[in-house]
Amino acid sequence: MNWLALREKLDLYEKLMRLDKPIGILLLLWPTLWALWLSALGRPDWQVVWIFILGTVLMRSAGCVINDYADRDFDRHVERTRERPLTAGRVTTREALMLFAVLSLLAFALVVALGNRLVIWLSVPALFLAGSYPFTKRFFAIPQAYLGIAFGFGIPMAYAAHLGEVPAEAWWLLLANIFWAVAYDTEYAMVDRADDLKIGIKTSAITFGRFDVAAVMACYAATLAIIGGIGWCLHLGPAFYAGLLVAAGIMGVHYTWIRGRERMPCFRAFLHNNWVGLAIFVGIAVDFLLDRYFG
């Protein structure tokens, strides 16, 4: 294989892993960072932080590959996805499965490098969740909830890495992430609703029907309520609640975008959830910093 052909193949793999669209990495990363900072009370082990960041990139990439493998026959019927490398035939199914395996093994190697037995054991269901999520769209009415578990499983792993155990707080934070994932991925599903109805894929946008916008806002509210309760139990201060207030304001803007149920504004709201995750993280991090130096 000459250099040009190799470069073209690597570009296709990059698109298959969606490295050119980092929103999925960010939506996976923010809850993990929330957990790393909360579990360490604002003083995370930086080696652990970098391992989790790299692991997030690898597992999101692996998830995209297996998602396209699972949906390869459906994606050709959806306007937004018909030109994806696997669906368009520019990458073979064998290449996709090998790429998924390599990415998963690299992520597992990072987990092993932590030397934490509980984190290693937790990585097993994490891999199962990432690999099985794409297939839930065949039979789960709200597969976005399953996505929330898969995208949030870095939370109990982060607590295990810092504390050697997974307290109830971690599971509550995971529940908050499930509600957040249902909210933002319903916005995403609203973009493809017409195509998904034709091909028979199940999504929350279809299940919620005319109550889709109300469901998104209710899930947003549940996310903030649960995270706020965790902060209350940890005696976090004004900066933390300011972060939640900013996140609530962003969610309010999303309502103005999705209430018309138009494709592009709904997609814009989905992408904009990066700022929700960031606002919550900044509130957590700044509050611990202020407490450290002025508390």
Number of Cα atoms under 13 Å in the Cβ half of residue 160:
19
Between 268 and 14, the more confident residue is 268
* Cα end-to-end span (Å), the chain: 61
Q: How far apart are CA 245 and CA 5, in angstroms?
A: 50
Closest CA relative to residue 178, chosen from 149, 213, 143: 149
Confidence of residue 201 (pLDDT cuts 50, 70, 90): confident
Q: How far apart are CA 73 and CA 288, in angstroms?
A: 48
Q: How far apart are CA 219 and CA 51, in angstroms?
A: 30
Instruction: Please report, as a single letter, which amino acid is at residue 76.
Output: R
pLDDT above 90 for 202: no
Closest CA relative to residue 147, chosen from 112, 117, 187: 187
Residue 168: in which H helix or E strand, if any?
helix 168-191
- Average pLDDT for 19-35: 93
Q: How far apart are CA 236 and CA 283, in angstroms?
A: 10
Residues 6+ apart with CB under 8 A from 251: 183, 217, 220, 224, 276
Nearest-10 Cα torsion for 29, 215, 250, 179 = -30
Domain ranges for the chain = 3-290
Residues 226-259 have pLDDT tens digits of 999 999 999 999 999 999 999 999 999 999 999 9
Please state, in angstroms and as integers, the Cα–Cα distance from residue 256 to each residue in 49, 180, 187, 274, following that order: 36, 18, 12, 17
Confidence of residue 148 (pLDDT cuts 50, 70, 90): very high
Number of Cα atoms under 13 Å in the Cβ half of residue 238:
3
Residues 104-135 have pLDDT tens digits of 999 999 999 998 999 999 999 998 998 888 88
pLDDT above 60 for 281: yes
Instruction: Please report, as a single letter, which amino acid is at residue 155.
Output: I
> Which of left, alpha, beta for 164 (phi over 0: left; psi -120 to 50: alpha)?
left
pTM, two decimals, is 0.92
CATH of region 3-290, choose from 1.25.40.10, 1.10.357.140, 1.20.1050.10, 1.10.150.120: 1.10.357.140
pLDDT above 80 for 160: yes
Residues 47-86 have pLDDT tens digits of 999 999 999 999 999 988 888 887 776 656 566 666 677 7
pLDDT at 86 (0 to 100) = 75
